[in-house]
Amino acid sequence: MSVENRRAVLAGLAERVPALERLYRDLHRHPELSFAEHRTAGVLANLLTGAGYTVHTGIAGTGVLGVLRTGPGPTVLLRADIDALPVAERTGLDYASTARGVDADGREVPVMHACGHDLHATWLIGAAQQLAAHRDRWSGTVLVVFQPGEERGEGAAAMVRDGLFDHAGAPDVVLGQHVVPGPAGWVLTRPGVLMAATDALRVVLHGRGGHGSRPETTVDPAVLASSVVLRLQTIVSRELAATESAVVTVGAMHVGTAGNVIADSATLELSVRTFDEPVRARVRAAIERIVHGEATAAGSPRPPEITETAWFPLTTNDPAATEEIAAVFGEHFGAERATEAPLVTGSEDVGELARAAGAPLVYWLVGGLDPDQVLGAMAAGRFERDVPTNHSPLFAPVPHPTLRTGVEAMVVAALHRFAAPGVG
């Protein structure tokens, strides 16, 4: 697609940005948890209908698909996730969330768009509106997908199972993007593996409860859990080579109800991140071995239970397609803003859409924080301390130029894949 066409399709974006900012603030104020995104889905579906898309709602419960055909050419899927997290916001923004929701375990929790999915949805609406307003400048079919349940690693696969591709066929390419705590205005690409695979595990350790004054009559699950937590940290440090990468985090440990009562059981919640399948298999096997071994050593009355609570695949970009779009980004944004992405230990389920369609995936990152803050913290060696990242209650992307950058990136990437008008 020519530079002239690209500029033509982006015409009018500056005038659209104020409305996009209002949408972003509205979505941020009204976050909804995974598969409970009813208000969000309704707002986005109405905007797609207003832009001239054929809209399908209720896919996997709260998923939305917009379809726009302009002529012969490829089918391009543009995806954004729309769910929020059980986080109490502490940004101090005048549009900060005070929402509450009920999580998958039935608990009332605070809710915040702490991962930027409100931005992702706003970017995609902006891109969908630009493409629709200038539909005479490209030929093909665009599938605009607003996906629920990404934070649980289930939404993409659930939409596929519920017939996502039955409405307009499978796409020829899947495109998506994610805000990160990089300088606003930067766009980062990486061919091949971009984001880690995740295994979320729940471990239940069984003990024998009793009075806190008589530990000799018990098998104390608190001590057992502590031993397991410490031993799990040796997997990365002592069982993987220095050239291999993994993260094993115990994010939650629940045991007991009172200081003078030794409980019957303890529960651990684990998050495991890996970048290739052989390492993934070895880490999972090590977890099984350590958990069972420590339980045996403690004299547990019955074996531990290890349950997978969530699973994310590797996010792997098609090398050739990614290199092409990276070159287009470089041409459009300039080499100082279009740069290479690092490996990311966070995870995504967008790859399930590409896998199900048998299509290449191109997924990239967009910086969303004040450039002076980010670059200053990096220069001082304080990035990890001073810059709030995704999932932090302090994560607050700056609307400008983040909003416009994300819309432009999505439009530019989509146009690169579409045919020129009148070309089959």
Q: What domains sit in the chain, N to C, each tagged with a CATH number?
A: 3-195+314-417 (3.40.630.10), 197-311 (3.30.70.360)
Q: Among 81, 89, 150, 352, which one carries the catalytic annotation?
A: 150
Using CA atoms, how far residue 212 sits from 183, 262, 311, in Å, is 53, 5, 38
Q: What is the pLDDT of residue 424?
A: 47
pLDDT at 102 over 70: yes
* pLDDT average, residue stretch 153-160: 97
Does 408 qualify as catalytic in the annotation? no
pLDDT at 419 over 90: no
Whether residue 251 contacts residue 271, with contact meaning beta carbons closer than 8 Å, is answered with yes
Angle, to 10 degrees, between the axis of helix 3-10 and the axis of helix 399-417?
130
pLDDT at 423 over 60: no
Q: What is the pLDDT of residue 116?
A: 98
Q: What is the pLDDT of residue 109?
A: 98
Q: What is the pLDDT of residue 96?
A: 98
Q: What is the pLDDT of residue 323?
A: 98
Q: What is the pLDDT of residue 422?
A: 64
Q: Please report, as a single letter, which amino acid is at residue 232.
A: L
Q: What is the pLDDT of residue 1?
A: 67
* pLDDT average, residue stretch 328-353: 97
Which of the pair, 424 or 16, is modelled with greater confidence?
16
pTM score, whole prediction: 0.93
pLDDT at 368 over 70: yes
Using CA atoms, how far residue 420 sits from 3, 69, 327, 416, in Å, is 12, 13, 19, 10
Residue 420: band (very low, low, confident or very high) from pLDDT cuts 50, 70, 90: confident
Is residue 334 packed enough to be buried (19+ CB in 10 Å), middle (13-18) or exposed (0-12)?
Answer: exposed
Q: Among 83, 199, 294, 349, which one carries the catalytic annotation?
A: 83
Structure tokens at 104: 């998958």
* pLDDT average, residue stretch 91-112: 96
Helix or strand (DSSP H, E) at 48: helix 38-50
Does 150 qualify as catalytic in the annotation? yes
Beta-bridged to residue 274, according to DSSP, are 197, 246
Q: 151 a known binding residue?
A: yes
Strands 173-183 and 361-369: parallel
* pLDDT average, residue stretch 204-227: 98
Q: 115 a known binding residue?
A: yes
| Residue-wise pLDDT tens digits, 264-308 | 999 999 999 999 999 999 999 999 999 999 999 999 999 999 999
* pLDDT average, residue stretch 328-347: 96
Q: 117 a known binding residue?
A: yes
Q: 178 a known binding residue?
A: yes
The Cβ of residue 389 has, within 10 Å, a number of other Cβ atoms equal to: 15
